[in-house]
Structure 1
Amino acid sequence: MALPAQDERTVPAVVLKDLDRQPLEQTLDAMKNLIDHHGHVVVVCSDAVPSGVERRLHTVRSLLESDRIALFRPGLPPLGLAVLARQLRQLASCDLSPGVLASAGRLLTHYIHSGAVLASVARLDRVPVGLKAHARSWVPGSQFGVIAHPEPQLVRIGPDATLSGPDFGSWMLLAKGQLQSDWVGSTLAPAWNALGLREADLPAESATWWGTGKLIEFCTYLADLPVLYQLVTSVRQGVCHWCGIDVIGDRCVFCSATPPVPREPDTHRVSP
C-alpha cells in the first residue's frame, strides 16, 4: 500500500508489517515511537487483511491509552486504498490539523472509482454477482469488468461493454496481476476521459479482496495536491466535543465520538 511518492512534498509512509505475528511489545514500541516523533498517527488498513491485524491495532490503541491514533479502514479495494493513503501523505505536507487530515480520508473516498478486470467472479463476494455471470465464469477466456466503489457494477467484457465512471477529470492507476488484457487502457480509460494512465505493483491483498489472482486492478483518483487541498479546506470544519480536535464530518476519527443529540427544550404547562 505504500505507493511511490506523487511529488517531492509527499510524506513517506511507515509500513506496519506482520502486526498479527510479531510480539505485542514490538508493536507497542513501534507505535509509541511514531506518536512521540509525529504527534498523531493515522493508520490506513485494508479490510482484506487478517482479522488478527485489526484486533492487534485496537489492542495497541487501548494499551497506549492514546487518542492520537486514528484507525481508518474504509471498504475500498486494495489499490484504491493505496491511492487514498498516498493522498493523505500528500496532504500531510500542508497546514492541516491532524483531525482534519485524518477526517479527509472519508471525504476523498467519494472521489475514487475502484474496479478490476477479472477472469472469474465465482469467488467474488464484494459485488453482487448474478447467476449468468457465475455461469459465464466457467467459460474459458471470459473476462469481467467490475466496479466495487462508489457503486457496484459488473459486465462481461465484449465489444459493447461499458462501465460508468467519474464525471470529473481524474488520473487512472493500473496494477496487473496474473491476467492479460488491454481493455482498461484501450477502452475504459478513453471512455472515462482519463487525464493519464500510470502503473503500480499489485497490492498483496488484491487477490484475496477480488477472489482471484487472475485480475488487473484499476482506480481513478485526483492527483494534484492543490486540488486535494482546496477540496478538503472547502468543507466546513467542526470541533470534537469530547477530545477538542478539529474534524470534518460527524464522527471524530481519533476518539470516535459523535456530536451529542440536541436536547429539546423543556416545556412546562402552567395550570390556570
Structure 2
Amino acid sequence: MYALPTAIAVTGPDLVLPSPDRHTPSAAVLQSAVQSPRTYSLDQSLTEMHTLIEHHGYVVVLCPASAPASVRHRLHAIRSVLESDRIAILRSDLPPLGIAVLALQLRQLSVCDFSPGVLASAARLLSHYIYAGALLGSVARLDRVPVTLQSHAKSWVPGTQFAVLATPRPELAKVTADGDAHLPGPGFGTKMLYAPGRIAPDWVTTALAPVWHCQGVEEVRLPAESARWWATGKLVEFAAAIPDISVLYQLVSSVRRDDCHWCGLELIGDRCAFCAAPLPPPGERPSPGARALPPRSVNALPRGAT
C-alpha cells in the first residue's frame, strides 16, 4: 500500500477533465511541457517534478505521441537529471480527448490499491477500451487515419461530413443526407464525452450515442490540440469509455501481474512502464515468490528504453 495516490501528470490543461466525484484527484499539469524552455528553465522543471515525487512517491506522465519533440526531450531530460526510477513517461497515440479520458481513468484508479507499476502499465490496457473519434467537415488533410482518394475528393463538396474513428481500430464513413454513417462501437457499457468545434454536435449526440448504447452523454471543452490533430477546426471530437471505477478495477485486476526483472516494480502486460524493460519469455521468468532485482538507476535503463 502507498500512503498517497500515484500522481497522474499531463502535458496540457485541456487534458484534465472534471473529477466525477470527490474521491478522484485532479491531474498535475506539467508547466515544463506547457511553457517554452526559454521561459521555464530546466531548474524550474526539475523542482516541479521533484515536488511531485516528494508528495506522491511516483509520477505517471501521459504525453501525446503528437507532442512536439521539445516536450518529449524535456521530459526525458528531467528523468535523467533526477536519476529517478519513479517517473513513467507514457506516449499515447490516442486523440486529445481520448488522452484526457485515459488520464481520468488513471486518476480514478490511482486511489485504489494498485501499485505504481500496475497503474502505469494499465494505461496500455485501458487504451484498447476507449473509442475515440470525431465528426469532421473535411478529411482533405487528415493523416492520422487512412483516407481514400474518393473521400479526399468528397471533402471539397460543401456540407459533406465524415465520421471517423481513430481507436481502437481506424474507420472512416461518410455521413449521408439522412444522417447515416456506420462506425463500429463498443460491445460494453460506456459514457460518451463530446467536444464541439466549429460544427454542430447533433449527429454525435442524437445518432451515434444511441446506436452505441451509451449510458450517458456529456459535453466538455475541446482540447486546444484537437484542431491540429484532426487537421481541421470543423469538428466534433468524441470519446466513449468505461465510466464505472468498479468495472475499471475489475478489468485491471483480472490481468496477470509480474515483477519487472530490471527495476523490481509490478507490471501487467509485456513491458514495464517505468524502465521499459520487456517481460522475459515464460521459460525465463522467476518462479512465483522469487525476489526481483533491486531498483536500478534511471541512467542504467535497459537497452531500448526511452
Q: Give the TM-score band, short-chain normalised.
A: over 0.9
| Displacement after TM superposition at 1:169 (Å) | 1.1
Q: Are the equivalent residues in 2 in contact too, given 1:173–1:218 (CA < 8 A)?
A: yes
Match of 1:140 among 141, 158, 172: 158
* Alpha-carbon offset, residue 24 of structure 1: 1.0
- Flag structure 2 segments of 5+ consecutive residues without an equivalent: 1-14, 285-306
Question: Which amino acid is 1:172 matched to?
Answer: M
Partner of 1:267: none
Check conservation: 1:69, 1:254, Cα contact below 8 A: yes
Distance 1:112 1:257 in 2: 26
Pairing 1:238–2:252 present:
no
Count residues with an aligned counterpart: 263
Q: Does 2:192 match 1:163? A: no
Give TM-score scaled by structure 1 length.
Answer: 0.94
Instruction: After TM superposition, give the deviation of residue 38 of structure 1 in Å.
Output: 0.7
Structure 2 letter corresponding to 1:82: A
Number of the residue aligned with 2:49: 31
The answer to whether structure 1 residue 10 and structure 2 residue 24 are counterparts is: yes
Q: How far did residue 19 of structure 1 move?
A: 4.8
Shift of 1:47: 2.1
Q: CA deviation at 1:35?
A: 0.7
Moved over 4 A (4+): none
Out of 174-183 and 146-155, give the one that drifted further: 174-183
Instruction: Give per-residue Cα distances to partners, 1:90-122, cap 9 Å, x unaligned.
Output: 001111100011111111111100000011101
Post-superposition shift, 1:49?
2.2
Contact 1:144-1:155 at 8 Å conserved across structures? yes
Distance (Å, rounded) in 2 between the aligned partners of 1:19 and 1:249? 34
Q: Is the 8 A contact 2:88 2:120 kept in 1?
A: yes
Alignment partner for residue 83 of structure 1, among 89, 101, 125?
101
Residue 125 of structure 2 aligns to a residue whose secondary structure is: helix
Distance, in Å, in 1 between the alignment partners of 2:239 and 2:275 is 31
> What is the Cα deviation at residue 175 of structure 1?
0.6
- What is the rounded CA distance, in whole Å, between the counterparts of 1:165 and 1:210 in structure 2? 20
Q: Note the C-alpha offset of 1:147.
A: 0.3
Gaps of 5+ in 1: 264-272
Distance 1:156 1:86 in 2: 31
- Please list the CA deviations of residues 159-212 of structure 1 after superposition, one character each: whole Å capped at 9, or x if unmatched: 232111101111111011111241011111111111110111011111111011
Answer whether contact 1:121 1:129 (CA < 8 A) is retained. Answer: yes
Q: Structure 1, residues 13-45: CA drift from partner, whole Å, max 9, x if none?
A: 110132543211111110011111111000011
TM-score, normalised with respect to structure 2: 0.84
Structure number, greater radius of gyration: 1
Counterpart amino acid of 2:207?
T
* 1:180 counterpart letter in structure 2: A
Asked if 1 retains the 8 angstrom alpha-carbon contact of 2:66 and 2:93, the reply is no
The alpha carbon displacement at 1:50 in A equals: 1.6
Deviation digits for residues 45-88 of structure 1 (CA, Å, limit 9, x no counterpart): 11232221011101111111111100011110110110000000
Conserved 8 A contact 2:53-2:86: yes
Q: Which residue of the other structure, out of 180, 194, 212, is the alignment partner of 1:174?
A: 194
CA distance in 2, matches of 1:80, 1:72: 14
Q: How many angstroms apart in 2 are the aligned matches of 1:193 and 1:243?
A: 43
Shift of 1:257: 0.7
CA contact (8 A) 2:58 2:116 kept: yes
- Larger relative contact order (Cα-Cα within 8 Å, sequence gap ≥ 6): 1
In the alignment, residue 166 of structure 1 is paired with which amino acid?
Answer: P
- Please state how far the C-alpha of 1:9 moved relative to its aligned partner: 1.1
Alignment of 1:114-263 (within 5 A): 114-158=132-176, 159=178, 160-261=180-281, 262=283
Q: Using the alignment, how far apart are the partners of 1:259 and 1:4 within structure 2?
A: 35
